Amino acid sequence: MNPKFPLDIYKKALESLTTAVLLLDEGLRIQYLNPAAEQFFATSSSHLITAPITQLLHEEDEAYAELENALRNQHGFTKREVQLHFPNSSQAATVDYTVTPLVENQSRSLLVEIRPLDRLLRISREDGLLSAHQATRALVRGVAHEVKNPLGGIRGAAQLLSRELESDELKDYTNVIIAEADRLRNLVDRMLGPRVIPQLNDMNIHQVLERIKSIIEVESKGSVSVKRDYDPSLPELHADSDQLIQATLNIARNALQALQENPDQKNPSIVLRTRPLRQFTIGSTRHKLILLVEIEDNGPGISKELMETIFFPMVSGRAAGTGLGLSISQSIINQHHGLIECESEPGKTVFRLLLPYEVDEPQAGDNHAQSR
């Protein structure tokens, strides 16, 4: 250790890493974990300090013996593509991890570096999702331009024709033309999504979610349980609260409709959850702090075929659906430099809204997340 650098510099360097780092003592108890490790294991350091490594993760039996051997013989090792299973949870993660022995004043310890491979897969998936969404938006804008111009001409011609007609019965036909032209124009505008710059102010995300909770409870007439799972320590978010209400309400309403339309549904419920994520990457942009909002339901789930296109406009799994709600929600979150992800299986569908703190305010025409 270089004596010219104070200890807090080394600690700050560890805390800035995106790699999860653990320090184990001679009893293989956790003595330190950095914020990336807290995020990976979804728990705080106060709950893990002095806990045995077996409490945090369990692998095959020989893995613990390998740690003991590394400590005893001072031989490090690396394991590739290991499935780590978290205790008291069905979750698992595919990781590479490296174990490095350390000796300080006759005291032995192990430094464990964990590199989640799932994260690389997630980043690749996010890049694909954003690219596809941006390409779709560009296509919709082009189609909208080609559709709205002739619609304006049709509507204007119908109005002129209506003035020349003396028969009210014939005017009914021109009124139908005008009404349908207006309907198509409004549909195109909805496909384009919000075109106004977000009005950013400091806001409490839980006030937004409480609004959503109240609306869903009223619309479900008490038939669906709406549960809270909030983190009260979250700081305020600089965002447009009205737009976030629209984005989250679109998703929550989809969850409600999926629950209500499932004839085999038992104990229908929606969970509204918030968490902070530290040193989190959206695409290639790493953020010090991310707000995670989850909307989870226990409905029938989304088919794998539909999952690939659910954020595209005019794509819906419901016969009566317009397929615009999720596309609009994604556009709104993109305007806030964030992203919406979805995971679904029968009995559990989770939409995750990722909203970074401390980003540059979006400019006019910026309807997508920053290039990552």
Same domain, 209 and 324: yes
Same domain, 212 and 75: no
Average pLDDT, the chain: 81
Q: Count of domains in the chain?
A: 3
Strand order in the sheet with 225-229: 225-229, 269-282, 285-297, 348-356, 339-345
Same domain, 125 and 112: no
Same domain, 222 and 326: yes
pLDDT confidence bin for 253, thresholds 50/70/90:
very high
Same domain, 231 and 335: yes
In this predicted structure, the answer to whether residue 6 has a pLDDT above a threshold of 90 is: no
Strand, coil or helix: 10? helix
Confidence at residue 292, expressed as pLDDT on a 0 to 100 scale: 95
Confidence at residue 352, expressed as pLDDT on a 0 to 100 scale: 94
Is 365 domain-assigned?
A: no
Separation CA 291–CA 206 (nearest Å) = 11
Same domain, 213 and 344: yes
Same domain, 178 and 296: no
DSSP-derived secondary structure letter, 165:
-
Q: Give phi and psi for 257, each to the nearest 5.
A: -65, -40
- Give tens-digit pLDDT for 63-100: 788 888 999 899 999 988 787 777 666 667 788 889 99
Separation CA 97–CA 117 (nearest Å) = 10
Same domain, 216 and 352: yes
Kindly state the percentage of the chain with pLDDT values over 70: 77
Confidence at residue 135, expressed as pLDDT on a 0 to 100 scale: 63
Same domain, 344 and 208: yes
Over residues 352-369, mean pLDDT: 62
Same domain, 215 and 326: yes
Same domain, 85 and 14: yes
Q: Give me the helices (H) in the chain, please.
A: 7-16, 35-41, 53-56, 61-73, 117-164, 168-192, 205-220, 241-260, 304-307, 325-335
> Structural domain of residue 60, as residue ranges?
7-116
64, 70, 96, 144 from 67: Cα distances, Å: 5, 5, 15, 61
Separation CA 353–CA 137 (nearest Å) = 19
- Give tens-digit pLDDT for 181-236: 888 777 676 666 556 677 889 999 999 999 999 999 999 998 999 999 999 999 99
Q: What is the CATH number of the domain that holds 275?
A: 3.30.565.10
Confidence at residue 164, expressed as pLDDT on a 0 to 100 scale: 86
Is 370 domain-assigned?
A: no
11, 34, 38, 60, 301 from 101: Cα distances, Å: 18, 18, 22, 21, 46
Among candidate residues 192, 224, 241, the one where a domain is terminated: 192
Same domain, 228 and 325: yes
Q: What is the CATH number of the domain that holds 62?
A: 3.30.450.20
265, 284, 307, 308, 353 from 304: Cα distances, Å: 20, 26, 5, 7, 20
Over residues 6-15, mean pLDDT: 77
pLDDT confidence bin for 128, thresholds 50/70/90:
low
Confidence at residue 16, expressed as pLDDT on a 0 to 100 scale: 85
In this predicted structure, the answer to whether residue 297 has a pLDDT above a threshold of 80 is: yes
Separation CA 81–CA 96 (nearest Å) = 5
Q: Give phi and psi for 215, each to the nearest 5.
A: -65, -45
- Give tens-digit pLDDT for 234-248: 999 999 998 899 899
Q: Give phi and psi for 231, each to the nearest 5.
A: -100, 110
